[in-house]
A and B are shown apart, each in its own frame.
Chain A
Amino acid sequence: MPEVKSIFREVLPKQGQLSMEDVPTMVLCKPKLLPLKSVTLEKLEKMQMEAQKAVKLQELAMKEQNQ
């Protein structure tokens, strides 16, 4: 197959100024590394969850007793 000579030739200016237009674009919010939790914080959260559960159970039991 004969080589096809391309009609367009690339233009690489060897001298002169290169200009570029800086268009303002929208910005994305950045990826977020999640902070690890300290042992104390985890324990606090666990205790609070358990306490809330216990209170709820007790309230349910109270309601059933009243009925």
Chain B
Amino acid sequence: MEVTMDPLFLAWSYFRRRKLQQCSDICTTILQDNSYDQAAWSLKTRALTEMVYIDEVEVDQEGIAEMMLDESSIAQVARPGTSLRLPGTSHGGGPTPAIRPLTQSGRPITGFVRPSTQSGRPGTMEQAIKTPRTASTARPVTSASGRFIRLGTASMLTNPEGPFINLSRLNMAKYSQKPNLSRTLFEYIFHHENDVNNALDLAAQATEHAQFKDWWWKVQLGKCYYRLGLYRESEKQFRSALNHQEVVDTYLYLAKVYQRLDQPITALSLFKQGLDHFPGEVTLLTGIARIHEEMNNIPSATEYYKDVLKQDNTHVEAIACIGSNHFYTDQPEIALRFYRRLLQMGVYNCQLYNNLGLCCFYAQQYDMTLSSFERALALVANDEEQADVWYNVGHVAVGIADLTLAYQCFKLALAFNNDHAEAYNNLAVLELRKGRIEQSKAFLQTAESLAPHMYEPHYNLSILSEKIGDLQSSYTAALKSEDSFPEHVDTQQLLKQLREHFSVL
């Protein structure tokens, strides 16, 4: 006779080995036999939650509505150094846009993208809609209609018998009395169903049942309020939770609230407070570094990333950020060492090989350059990445003066991503060298309309127009270039020259 294992035990074993689908299937059969089996029910909710679980600390997506119709801002124009929304107000001696490329919002590009890496606050509604996202999807209208909802509905669609738990028929009051079931149920509602209203309901009743003494429920309440956009309420809950129990996560959530309220200084002091209780905690240090980076204070961000590496020398984000900083401060050899370290740690993707290729080229290790780029091209996941890699290969080609190859590379970049403004600009420069003025002008105008935040197309257009004698358009273009990069010396000289011309007339 065959001895079979107890199905619930087997399901637990699957769960521990993260074979979540099998675990959930076994629980389903157990529940078909006995629909009142609480252990199986609870385990199934946990398995389903784990399938779609993402660290809530990391997740942040600001929708257009929140950005443009912001009620929590106090002043229209914040004082310099107190806001995340004014890029470039505090130049702490970091590299200028002449060396380090900018993102759409006028921040220097970072070495690492996280879901919360804001592409900044666009000034106008039109720009907000046009701003590309890091994760290649369009910005949602509000964060409530963002990725979470889409994921939630998808999980429901794939279940032919409908959702596992019918939330509208659930007796929240009954479940909130049972501490052993309520927590898994809450996480299921919050992460799997993305039904924040019901989750809030459950959390509120459960915290009442615990006589407002349970820090865990307070943190969950805070998370719900945050998702609903009630930042002040969520701040209150997190603060109260911290009074009961000092937990690193709560500090991180609270700092997230302050960042959303655009109070980076408060967030920084909160992190420091957290570091008093948890000295050397990596996530808190990373948080500080990120804020410094978003406020465009690259040198002190690097300092904090170095502190992170002292605690945890395999921290990918810290290594990548320090590496990119070295690259853009003219030390590609050192950047190369950081990126090589990442490779040793087992990071294996297109971005890393692309960066290695660039570092090798600028550190004069020519033998590795092209093979790195070849690998990067072999590993690309989407067209945008492919375009960026070809764009960088184009730079290598410019560096070895193979202008035909450079021309083809930039063309390829455009073939993969038709909105690649940098490639348009560089093509325009190459076209002008060939003497094709009209073509060059057309490319520059395209680049200008695609990326008004970059100074290069404006400046180039200004020079081009000045050369062909169109002083008026040269002047307007130079003014735009000055707008996006006020410290650019050549623009200033050009403007001065033009003004002298005009005054003579």
Contact = CB atoms under 8 A, between A and B. Distances in A.
B54 A44 contact: yes
A29 B217 CA distance: 51
A54 B463 contact: no
B277 interface: no
Interface stretch (B84-92, B168-176, B453-461): B453-461
Contacts of A43: 54
Contacts of B52: 47
B381 to A, nearest CB: 9
A27 B488 CA distance: 12
Nearest to A58: B157
Contact of B388 (A32, A47, A52, A55): A32
A54 B425 contact: no
A41 interface: yes
A67 interface: no
Given A38-B58, A48-B137, A33 B358 contact: yes
A36 interface: yes
A32 B101 contact: yes
B109 interface: yes
- Which of A26, A27, A51 is most buried by chain B, counting CB atoms within 10 A of its CB? A26
B143 to A, nearest CB: 13
A37 B423 CA distance: 23
Given A24-B493, A51-B151, A32 B113 contact: no
A44 B147 contact: yes
Dominant secondary structure at the B interface: helix
A11 interface: no
A54 to B, nearest CB: 5
A29 B101 contact: yes
Contacts of B352: 36
B100 A26 contact: no
B126 interface: no
A49 to B, nearest CB: 10
B433 to A, nearest CB: 9
A34 B456 CA distance: 20
Nearest to B454: A29
A16 interface: no
Contact of A38 (B115, B158, B493): B115
Contact of B456 (A24, A27, A38): A27
Interface stretch (B62-70, B219-227, B254-262, B316-324): B316-324
B432 interface: yes
Given A48-B147, A54-B154, A34 B135 contact: no
Interface string B220-260: 00000000000000000000000000000000000000000
A28 B157 contact: no
Given A36-B320, A51-B150, 12 more contacts: A25-B463, A26-B459, A30-B100, A31-B358, A34-B350, A34-B354, A36-B317, A36-B347, A44-B54, A44-B59, A44-B135, A55-B158
6 contacts: A35-B117, A36-B349, A41-B135, A44-B59, A48-B137, A55-B154
Interface of B: 52, 54-55, 58-59, 98-101, 109-115, 117, 134-137, 147, 150-151, 154-155, 157-158, 316-317, 320, 324, 327-328, 342, 347, 349-352, 354-355, 358, 362, 385, 388-389, 391-392, 395, 398, 421-423, 425-426, 428-429, 432, 454, 456, 459-460, 463-464, 490, 493-494
